[in-house]
Structures are given as C-alpha cells and as structure tokens.
Amino acid sequence: MIELRGLTKRYGDRVAVDDLTCGIEAGRVTGFLGPNGAGKSTTMRMILGLDRPTAGSALVGGRRYQDLRHPLREVGALLDARAVHPARSARAHLLSMARSNGIAASRVDEVLETVGLTGAAGRRAGSFSLGMGQRLGIAGALLGDPGVLMFDEPVNGLDPDGVRWVRELVRSLAAEGRTVFVSSHLMSEMQLTADRLVVIGKGRLIADAPLQEVIAGSSLTAVRVRSPHAADLCEWLVSAGLDVRRPAENELIVTGGTIERVGDIAHQAGARLHELSPREASLEQAYQELTASSREYDASVPVLTTPETRV
C-alpha cells in the first residue's frame, strides 16, 4: 500500500503538491488523473524519494522509500522510459539493475520475455522506438517482482495491441494482490483499466473514489424513461427533487437519481413504462467536469476554415 499524508511540495512561491492525503490500496488498479501541471509526476517522484517533500510524507508499506532495504524488490516504477544509457543493450541495462539489487540474472530473461523484447535484447537501447522503450521501462519495473508498481503514462508510444497488453498486464498484477498506481491522460483507456481513481488539480485532491462513483457523479449521467404517462411521472420525479428534461412527448431524461430510484417512483406513480435505461457519462466527460476549474493551460478550440472561407 502507498500512503500519502499531507504531502506538500513547494518550489519557491509555486505549490506543486498541496496537502495531498490518500491511500493507494493493494489488489486494485488505481488511476492517477489530473491536468498538465497538476502535480502528478512530482507526487510520484516524492513517493520514490527522488524529490523531498516540503511537508507531509509518502510511505510504501508504512516506510519511506529511502528506508526500504531492497527497494527494487518492493517497488517497481516506470517514470521516464528515456532514462536508459543509449549505448547499453536492453539486456545489459536490466542486468546492471539486477546486480545492483541482488536479483538473479535469470530474472532478466524472464522479464524480457514478459514484455516481448527477447528478440531485441542485444540491441542498443538508444535505437529503440518510443514504444520499445516503454516496454523496456516496464521490464525494469517488473524486475524485482515487487508488490508495489507505479507507471507514469505506460501506454505512451504503444500501438493498439501494446495498449491492450499493458491494460491486461496491470490488471493481472492487481489481481495477484499487488498495489498498482497508474498515471495517464488517455481517459478511454483508464476507464477500461482502473478500479479506483485519484484526481488532482493544481496540486490538490479533487476526487478519491471508485471509478463508477466518479462517473456517476457527472451531471451527464442520467436515466432515460419512455412512458405514455410521461407528463404525470415528470411531476412525481420533480417533487422527489430530481432534475427532469422532456425532449419528446413520451420521453424523460432524469438526472440526480439512480435507475432504481426512478423505477421506484414510477411504480409509486402507477406509470406504465416502455423504457427505463441508464445513460452513463464517459470518464472523459466526468473528468472534464471535475477539473474544469483546475486547468493551468486552457486554450481555446481552433476554428477550422475551408479554402473558400479562409482569408
């Protein structure tokens, strides 16, 4: 487990991480989300002892990273796939990591096979594509067979097959009881991968909840109702404190309540239903709502013009 307790990091007058408190538990994939500049990478660096907190603490299994006796066997991390000596082969890079951490050399070939780089083990890391570099970084994180794994943008540069492979890998690691903490800007992929989300903005915690709870909290999550008694049912729903739109004569879009609650109210009203179905927001939509006031960079959307209208 990873515990963040009042974690704070200041660089002069700028606050990168602001009193962040949360726990990343074992046995699930926890997604780490936030706009650019939100403090995600700084948080991960403090967990790994690469940056010193201004205040608070980041603990792994109840201890600071620098106090771990065999850190690579307890925590595996991929923060920057480019942090490899370009002249070293993939195998030589992993072998040096293994030797410095008391890990058997045979483990190197095991992780190379796991990430699909066996055939490229003798190639210089500097010749690797971005996707191959990501796979090598993941191999390094897996090398010590640790119980805690942290990945910062692990699917960056991977093709669709590689993205699916990472998704299946991290879910399988969590299923084995490991703590898996993943940062990504790909909302569609995170929606398929994460069990729980930690969302920050401007260094502060915005949400720490199960994925479905975050999505359900979006104003775009609703219940669609079709009924020949839509007008009467609308009055019942509004009196129950729910928000209701009536886009068509026999159709209602209800927000602020679960599908079970809407169904119970319809039953109480004696309304016959032709449809009662959820309209779930996407994680991207829920995320945009959560972080709307926390974006450091918020450019306007460009307007595309045709050759006929271009000045």
Residues in the chain, pLDDT under 50: 309-311
Burial 31-66 (b: 16+ CB within 10 A, else e): bbbbbebbbbbbbbbbbbbebebeebebbbeeeebe
Model pLDDT, residue 299: 55
Cβ atoms within 10 Å of 305's Cβ, excluding its own: 9
Model pLDDT, residue 309: 45
Model pLDDT, residue 302: 57
Strand partners, 279: 222
Model pLDDT, residue 216: 81
The 3-state DSSP composition of the chain as helix, strand, coil percent (nearest 5) reads 35, 25, 35
Please provide the DSSP assignment of 46-77 as one string. HHTTSS--SEEEEEETTB-GGG-SSHHHHEEE
Q: What are the Cα distances from residue 27, in Å, to 57, 84, 172, 181? A: 23, 30, 10, 11
Paired tokens of 278: 């959820």
> Parallel, antiparallel, or unpaired for β 28-33 and 148-152?
unpaired
Question: What global pTM score does this model have?
Answer: 0.83
134 close to 157: Cβ distance less than 8 angstroms: yes
* Domains defined for the chain, CATH in brackets: 2-215 (3.40.50.300), 222-279 (3.30.70.100)
CA distance 173 to 186: 20
Paired tokens of 296: 């450091």
> Parallel, antiparallel, or unpaired for β 204-210 and 75-78?
unpaired
Model pLDDT, residue 311: 41
CA distance 168 to 13: 42
DSSP 8-class letter at 122: T
> Which pLDDT tens digit goes with each residue over 11-70?
999 999 999 999 999 999 999 999 999 999 999 999 999 999 999 999 999 999 999 988
CA distance 226 to 230: 7
Residue type, 248: A
Model pLDDT, residue 310: 46
